[in-house]
Chain A
Amino acid sequence: QVQLVESGGGVVQPGGSLRLSCAASGFTFSSYGMHWVRQAPGKGLEWVAFIRYDGTYKYYADSVRGRFTISRDNSKNTLYLQMNSLRAEDTAVYYCAKDFFPIVVLPSTWFDPWGQGTLVTVSS
Chain B
Amino acid sequence: QSALTQPASVSGSPGQSITISCTGTSSDVESYNLVSWYQQHPGKAPKLMIYEGSKRPSGVSNRFSGSKSGNTASLTISGLQAEDEADYYCCSYADNVVFGGGTKLTVL
Residues on A lying within 8 angstroms of B by beta carbon are 35, 37, 44-47, 50, 59-62, 95, 100, 107-117
Q: Is the CB of A116 within 8 A of B57?
A: no
Q: How large is the interface on B (under 10, 10 to 19, 20 to 34, 35 or more residues)?
A: 20 to 34
In the assembled complex, the CB of A56 is this many whole angstroms from the nearest CB of chain B, namely 18
Q: Is the CB of B97 within 8 A of A112?
A: no
Binding site secondary structure of chain A: strand
Question: Which of chain B's residues 1-34 have a Cβ closer than 8 Å to chain A?
Answer: 2, 34
Q: Is the CB of A109 within 8 A of B36?
A: yes
A-B contact count (CB 8 A): 66
Given contacts A109-B36, A109-B93, A110-B52, contact A47 B98 (CB under 8 A): yes
Distance between Cα atoms of A36 and B30 in the complex (Å): 25
- When distances are taken between beta carbons in the complex, the residues of chain B under 8 Å from A111 are 36, 46, 48
- When distances are taken between beta carbons in the complex, the residues of chain B under 8 Å from A107 are 93, 96-97
Residues on B lying within 8 angstroms of A by beta carbon are 2, 34-36, 38, 40, 45-48, 51-52, 57, 89, 91-93, 96-102
Q: Is the CB of B57 within 8 A of A114?
A: no
- When distances are taken between beta carbons in the complex, the residues of chain A under 8 Å from B102 are 44-45
Given contacts A108-B34, A109-B91, A113-B45, contact A44 B100 (CB under 8 A): yes
A95-B45, A100-B48 known; 17 new pairs, CB 8 Å cut-off, are A44-B2, A45-B40, A45-B99, A47-B91, A47-B96, A107-B93, A107-B96, A108-B93, A109-B35, A109-B51, A109-B92, A109-B93, A111-B46, A112-B48, A113-B45, A113-B47, A114-B46
